[in-house]
Amino acid sequence: MVQATLTSALHASALRVEYLMNPIGTDVARPRLSWIVTSEARTQRQAAYRILVASDAALLDDERGDLWDSGRVESAETAQIAYGGVSLAARQAAWWKVRSWNGDDTPSEWSETAFWEAGLLVPTDWTARWLSLAGLGPDSDIPETAELDGLVPAPIFRREFSVEKPVVRARLYATARGVYEARLNGEKVGDQVLAPGWTDYTKRQQFQTYDVTSQVRQGANVLGGTLGTGWFCGYVGWQRQCRHYGTTPQLLCQLHIDHPDGSSTVIGSDREWKAETGATRYADLLMGEFHDARRAVNGWDRPGYDDRGWLPVTVSNLNAVPLVAEPAQPVRAQETIAPVGRTEPSPGVYVFDLGQNIAGWVRLKATGAAGTRIQLRFAEILNPDGTLYVENLRGAQVTDTFVLAGNGEETFEPRFSWHGFRYIEVTGYPGEPPEDAIAGRFVGSHTPVAGTFTCSDPLVNQLQENIVWGQRGNFLSIPTDCPQRDERLGWLGDAQVFIGTAIGNMDVSAFFTKWMRDVTDAQSLRGAFSDVAPRLTDLEDAAPAWGDCGVIVPWTIWKAYGDTGIIREHWAAMERWVAWIHDANPDLLWRHNRMHDFGDWLSIG
């Protein structure tokens, strides 16, 4: 009997806050808490729960929740439980745990302790200002920039400062108009790439929060950042269009350092910073990256570097565009893929085969004389003669270039571009490239695996693998249509058709929470959704099935995750969409305002 009681007890685990594990920097005032219950026995389910939330993890050990004690709640719900306690102040942390009772009224053990931390919540929490480097223009020494004047050097920014007291906690809040990589005392901050992701920068600007406690030192420190043009002012969409939201990339960051005596040191982007350009002569999402290692500024992100020759920064104030915490998993370089083959279709032209289409970039290793220029081009398929087939890329240049400094073995890995490819053409390599000269790097939004499928039929298994790779390669901040050519837009029709499959493969709850805000941001004043979100390049109101995504996606997320919040958040937008259709079609036959009217887009035959 004792054994039966033990095995029928529930176990609460996988604690999440707004779909994320232990998030820091959230700006949700009443975040929703979720967990999973398991049991060794069958037919068990939760009958009640109790949540404790405390301002100190030690309080939970005594079963005290000074921020919130839900008490015993008779409910089977384990997801989307709104926090009902004391509102958190900016940068305040909260620790929580949960226990469940089964139908026999047997309590579980308390779960492991989890936490979340509030970020900067209101505009007045920000004291930093936007930084840019004036006069940023194409490098005239690079011929391709003559026709593509949006290809400009990546500016680098630095600020040296001193920390006088011991450090108990440090958080960096950062974003960019463009894409950025933050640096602190010679090290990259965080593991994400292509931050802050793509939003309509006239409506919402995402920021990221990083735990940098281990990187801040007592004494001299340097905080810095490098910028690419990204979606803000780089090339996006077809017809080689750039500067959609602005003309130059900008950096915004604010470092908070907490000391044992309760005081804080705050270092924000301001006029004390300096700027310069370095080895990255351009970095563009569509066109690729050009890195001249001879122009590397060694040591710029460490204390003691002499920056007296650097340029002053241009400073601008924050505007009315809200700064919002990133609500989804970040984009990361998640997997390294070794080539499965290499050919030489003509002398000195080498084609590496990854054996798999991926989205991302490659890591190149080479040793050679200073000034050696190695060029990488990318394609999904080959011509019959073994050369790259690139006609489908249209206006996307999709070329990375690395100029060697001549300092032994050198490694190049882009930071501010990405491609869709299986094959890599290498030219200009000094000698014959070894097998490990190239490694593929898969890059995408880091949505957790939710389910897998295998069966006895290898063909069906391969189909499923292709579906998963297609999802991984097209979920990068937004759900794109393709990762290779001059498009890469968030087509609503594609997303609403695929979302059911996507949910079965991965946990896309947070990903679509973010993107649905892009969809609503793109809604016209008349109530029409757009064909793409963010609304860029294709500026038309939505066609049938494409605009319906604004209703179908929230409905599907609710069905899969029990998320009523996404319905409430976008209900008014859904009503406006339906009203827009109805006003033009009062007889309830959708004959007017069909816009592009794509129909069965690219139907067979």
Q: For residue 605, is pLDDT > 50?
A: no
Q: Quickly tell me which residue has 């998320």 as its tokens.
A: 563
72-124 residue pLDDT tens: 999 999 999 999 999 999 999 999 999 999 999 999 999 999 999 999 999 99
Q: For residue 276, is pLDDT > 50?
A: yes
The answer to whether 434 and 417 are in contact (CB under 8 A) is no
Q: For residue 602, is pLDDT > 80?
A: no
52-79 residue pLDDT tens: 999 999 999 999 999 999 999 999 999 9
The Cα–Cα gap between 373 and 329 comes to 36
Mean pLDDT of the region 522-537: 96
377-413 residue pLDDT tens: 999 999 999 999 999 999 999 999 999 999 999 999 9
Interstrand relation of 205-211 and 323-325 (parallel, antiparallel or unpaired): parallel
**Does the fold of domain 458-584 match that of domain 333-445?**
no
Q: Quickly tell me which residue has 């563009």 as its tokens.
A: 284
Domain 458-584 has CATH 3.10.310.50: no
480-500 residue pLDDT tens: 999 999 999 999 999 999 999
> What DSSP string describes 508-531?
-HHHHHHHHHHHHHT--TTS--BS
Of 446, 475, 328, residue with least CA distance to 23: 328
CATH homologous superfamily for 333-445? Galactose-binding domain-like (2.60.120.260)
First to last CA, the chain: 67
pLDDT of residue 7: 66
Written as six digits, the tokens of 232 are 């803000």
CATH code for 2-118?
A: 2.60.40.10
Residue 595: which residues within 8 A CB-CB, separation 6 or more?
528, 531, 540, 541, 542, 543
Q: For residue 256, is pLDDT > 80?
A: yes
- Domain boundary assignment for the chain: 2-118, 123-326, 333-445, 458-584
Residue 176: which residues within 8 A CB-CB, separation 6 or more?
195, 196, 225, 227, 230, 232, 249, 250, 251, 252
426-445 residue pLDDT tens: 999 999 999 899 999 999 99
Written as six digits, the tokens of 542 are 């939505």
Weakest mean pLDDT among 3-7, 125-129, 282-286, 574-578: 3-7
- Residue 598's pLDDT band (cuts 50, 70, 90): confident
Mean pLDDT of the region 490-515: 97
CATH code for 123-326?
A: 2.60.120.260
Q: Quickly tell me which residue has 């069906």 as its tokens.
A: 460
450-478 residue pLDDT tens: 999 999 999 999 999 999 999 999 999 99
The answer to whether 174 and 182 are in contact (CB under 8 A) is yes
Q: For residue 254, is pLDDT > 60?
A: yes
The Cα–Cα gap between 316 and 270 comes to 9
pLDDT, mean over the chain: 96
> What DSSP string describes 61-120?
HTT--SSEE---EE----S-EE--SPPPPTT-EEEEEEEEEETT-PBPPPPPPEEEEE--
pLDDT of residue 149: 94
The Cα–Cα gap between 435 and 433 comes to 7
The Cα–Cα gap between 163 and 17 comes to 33
Written as six digits, the tokens of 522 are 């793109």
Tell me the residue type at 496. Answer: Q
